[in-house]
Amino acid sequence: MSEPPADADTFLAVTDSVVALQPDLSTLEAGILAALHLRLAADSRSFARIFGVEHALVLRGVETLVGDVGLISVTTRNERTQRTHYAATETGLSVLGHLHG
């Protein structure tokens, strides 16, 4: 049986928890991790569409999470649309392991 979708309050609480664990992250970057943790979005286009954020901003957040802090890794990228699929790294899984929700 699959888990029920997270509600807005759960998403915001998890995002706040990520910020508390990783204070150098922006709210957008923490939201990308929260959405990954809650299985709401695992690619940049889906995150942008679901949360009404410009895709370019999401791509910047993904790049920060990949390069600067190493919490996620890119699994695939569409060269034409720039849709970027990502997954948590071991470091990212360690951070996400401290979350509830």
Which CATH architecture best describes the domain 8-96?
A: Orthogonal Bundle (1.10)
Domains of the chain, by residue range, sit at 8-96
Structure tokens at 57: 């901003």
Residue identified by tokens 């190493």 is: 70
pTM for the model stands at 0.89
Round to whole Å and give the CA distance between 94 and 96. 6
Summarised one tens digit per residue, pLDDT across range 1-11 is 345 456 888 89
Neighbours of 36 (CB within 10 A): 22
Q: Which regions in the chain score pLDDT beneath 70?
A: 1-6, 100-101
At residue 88's C-alpha, the angle toward residues 83 and 92, to 5°, is: 135
